[in-house]
Amino acid sequence: MIAISRRQILISGIFLWLFAVAGTTLVALTEYSSREAIIENERQVLLRNLYALLPRDKLDNDLAEDILELPASPLLGTDAASIVYRARLAGEPVAAIFNSIAPNGYNGKIHLLVGIYSNGKLAGVRVVKHAETPGLGDAVEVRKSPWIKSFDSKSLTDPGPSGWRVKRDDGEFDQFTGATITPRAVVAAVRNTLLYYQQNASMIFN
């Protein structure tokens, strides 16, 4: 063990402290100067996802601003509060876009954006986050496969309750070759979101 004098310890400590201050200052400055750009980027991505479900000419409000916080609900698959985006045209409700979760994907939760018109028909569904197997289950992503578009303009009555399953379970929706669990989870989650909307429509557009 090499003896270190008290003075040396002090100098080292101060040196380390100076570096911590300098490093933190630099990071703080970068954070400050990039904060607005980052918030704007996040907003753009959110808007891009939302407008993928709803044509811009069908609404005239700011989708990202007209939001409502929903409590955790088993139908939405959420165990914490989630946000619903509301689309309106001249003040009249047009559609609601839910953040819902399919809790039983092959590899954990599948996060969905589910757009529902005020008449109960689906505007569309998009997967925003998932950990499904690349090449098999990830066909739920719109850029990998058009499958997710098979939900467009479906509703609780079209198909009926027995149709809201994948074909292997005698339903209407295709499964993927080699992956049944993923589409099964998504189909169930979309139907549950429709049920949630049916039960809570008046509360959402209060």
Partner 1 sequence: MTTSREISRDGLWGNNVALVQLLGLCPLLAVTSTVVNGIGLGLATLITLVLSNTIVSLIRDFVRKEVRLPVFVLIIASVVTIIELSMQALFYDLYLVLGIFIPLIVTNCAIIGRAEGFASRNPVGPAALDGLMMGLGFLVVLALLGALREIIGFGTLFANAELMFGDGAQTLTIEFNEDYPGFLLAVLPPGAFFGLALLIVIKNWLDLRPQEKQEIIEPVPETV
Nearer to partner 1, 20 or 89 (CB): 20
Nearer to partner 1, 133 or 155 (CB): 133
| Sheet of 67-70, strands arranged across | 67-70, 82-89, 92-105, 108-117, 122-129
Smallest separation (angstroms) from partner 1 to the CB of 123: 24
CB within 8 Å of 128: residues ≥ 6 apart: 49, 99, 111, 112, 113
Smallest separation (angstroms) from partner 1 to the CB of 52: 15
Nearer to partner 1, 45 or 89 (CB): 45
Distance CA 152, CA 117 (A): 11
Nearer to partner 1, 48 or 71 (CB): 48
Smallest separation (angstroms) from partner 1 to the CB of 133: 7
Smallest separation (angstroms) from partner 1 to the CB of 170: 27
Binding interface with partner 1 (CB under 8 A): 4, 8, 11-13, 15-16, 19-20, 23-24, 26-27, 30-31, 34, 37-38, 41-42, 44-45, 133-136
Kindly report the length of the chain. 206
Range 65-72, long-range pairs (CB < 8 A, 24+ positions): 68/204, 70/98, 70/200, 70/204
